[in-house]
A and B are shown apart, each in its own frame.
Chain A
Amino acid sequence: MKFFLFMVFAVALNFTTSAQQRYFAEKSKVSFYSDGVVEDITAVNEKVTSIFDAFKGDVAFLMSIKDFQFEKKLMQVHFNEKYMESEKYPKSTFQGKIVGFNSAEEGVQQVRAVGKLSIHGVTKDVDAIGTIEKNGSFLQVKSKFNVKLLDYNINVPQIVWKNIAQQVEVTIEFTYRQL
C-alpha cells in the first residue's frame, strides 16, 4: 500500500510540475522579410498558436500558411497558389526544445531553439538563437533567423525571380502566459 501511494505521488508530482510550467502563446507574430530587386516583400501571420513547456524545455508552434497577410492581396494569392502551394501544404510547424532557459530567473535571457521546422511539406533540423524575457507569469520570446527557399523546395518561377530573394528573414515574437 505504501508502495502504491508512492507511485501515485510520483506520477502526480510529474504531472503537476510539468503542468505548472506550461505556457500558451497569447499573442503571436511570425513575419518574414525578403529583400528584392524590384520591391521588398513582407508578410505577417498573427494567428500562430504555440505551447512552451518550460519544465522540459519543449516547444511547438503551428500556423496556417494562408494566414500570412501581405500588403498586396494579389501577392498573397500568388504566395499561396504558386510558391507555398498551401492547398497541398496548408501548415507550417516547429517542434523542438529551447535550451538555456532558467524559469526561476526574471528578465532577459539568451536562449537557443533546436528542433524540426516543417515548411511546404519539407522538414529540416534548425537551430536558432533568440531571447526570452520573463516577467512574472509572462514570457516574451523573440528570434530572428534565415530560411533558404531551396531547402524547402520552394521554387520561384524564373519570370518573377527578381521579385523574390532566394532567402527570407523570419522574425518570431510570441507572448506566452503561464497556464
Chain B
Amino acid sequence: MKKIILLFILLPFFANAQEDLLGELEKEKTKETDYTFATFKGTRLVNGHTIETKNAGSLEFIFQHRFGALDGGLYEMFGLDEAYVRLGLDYGITDNLSVSIGRNSADKIMDGYLKYKILKQSSGEKNMPFSITALGGAAYSISPKKDDEPEGFKSVDRLAYTGQLLIARKITSNLSLQLMPTFIHKNAVNKFAEKNDQIAIGFGGRLKVTKSVALTTEYYYRLDPPDNDLLASVGDEKRYNALGFGIDIETGGHVFQLVLTNTSSLTERTVITETNGDFFGGDIHLGFNVTRTFQLKKNK
C-alpha cells in the first residue's frame, strides 16, 4: 500500500517531465505561417526573370553578357569576338516591390521594370501552393539615331512594353518550377509580317546540385508567332522560340550564371519575340549573368 501512496506522490513528477515543457512550447508554435524562401537563387532564370525580387534596401548590380554564336567557327573565335552586354541595377523598395533599370548594347535599348510579389508560397496557418510575381516593363530603343530615322518614324515607335506573370512553386528544397505567361506590345512592327501584340508562355525551372550550385532552364513558347517565310520576304531574319540552359554558382553576395542560349539579346522584347538563333541548328551563344548585391539599408 505504501508503494501506491509513493506512486501517487511521484505521479505528477513523471507526468510533468521535461518533455512536457518542450511539448507545451511546441503546441503554441504550430499556428504560424511558414513562407517559402529562396525559390531561385537570382532575379534572372536564364534570359528572363524569376519570381525573386530584391529585399528592401538592397541594390543589385547585374552584368549580363552574351557572346556570338558558337557555330561562327574559328574565324569568329566560336563567338567570342562578338559580345552583347546589358548593365543593370535592381533595387528593393520594399521586400515585395523592386525596380530595375538597364542598358542593352544590342539595339541600344534602355529598359526598366517594376516587379511586385503578389502571392508568396506558404504552409502552416496560411496555405498557398504558389508564389506569383507580376512584372511590368518598358524598353526604349535609342537606335536608330535621330538623324538616321526613316521617313514617318515617330519617337513612340522606339517603345515596347512587357507584362508578365511569374508563377512558381518550390516543390522540394532542390527543385523549383516556374510558368511565365507573357504579353508583349511593340509600338512599331512591320505590319505585313508581325503583330503589335504578342503572347508567349514561358516554362522554366532550377535543380540544385549542391548547396551553392544549381542547373536552370527556360523556354519561351510563342503562341502566335510571325511566319518565318513572311519575315524573310520582307527582309527580316527567321525567328525562333528562346531556349536557354544555365548553371548558377553562388558565393556570398555574388551569383554567377553561366548560360547557353539561342539569343544574344537581354530584354524581354528581343528575347521573346526577336530571337534569331536556331538552338538545334548550332546558333548557341555562351553568356553569363553576374550579380553583386549591396545592402544599402540595414534590415531592422
Contact = CB atoms under 8 A, between A and B. Distances in A.
Contacts of B299: 69-73, 76
Interface residues of B, number: 39
Interface in B1-41: 1, 5, 8-9, 11-13, 16-19, 21-22, 24-26, 28-29, 32, 34, 37-38
Given A73-B295, A74-B55, A74-B295, A59 B21 contact: yes
B251 interface: yes
Given A66-B34, A71-B295, A96 B18 contact: yes
B21 A58 contact: yes
B235 interface: no
A157 B13 CA distance: 46
Contacts of A66: 34, 37
Contacts of A59: 21
Contacts of A131: none
B146 interface: no
A18 interface: yes
The listed residue with most A CB atoms (<10 A of its CB), out of B1, B9, B12, B28, is B12
Contacts of B252: 78, 159-160, 163
B34 A95 contact: no
A81 B38 contact: yes
Given A62-B22, A93-B22, A95-B19, A73 B211 contact: no
Given A74-B295, A157-B211, A49 B29 contact: yes
A129 interface: no
Interface in A38-94: 49-51, 53, 56, 58-62, 64, 66, 69-74, 76-78, 80-82, 85, 87-88, 90-91, 93
Contacts of B32: 64
A6 B57 CA distance: 66
Contact of B22 (A11, A95, A157, A163): A95
A74 B52 CA distance: 12
B173 interface: yes
A80 B298 contact: no
A14 B9 contact: yes
A80 B55 contact: no
Contact of B16 (A56, A77, A97): A56
B293 interface: yes
B295 A7 contact: no
Nearest to A49: B25
Interface in B163-193: 173
Interface in A2-48: 3, 6-7, 10-11, 14-15, 18
B212 interface: yes
B16 A18 contact: yes
Nearest to A11: B8
A75 to B, nearest CB: 8
Contacts of B58: 72-74
Given A72-B58, A95-B19, A160-B252, 14 more contacts: A3-B5, A7-B5, A7-B8, A14-B9, A49-B29, A60-B22, A71-B298, A73-B95, A74-B55, A77-B38, A81-B38, A81-B211, A159-B212, A160-B251
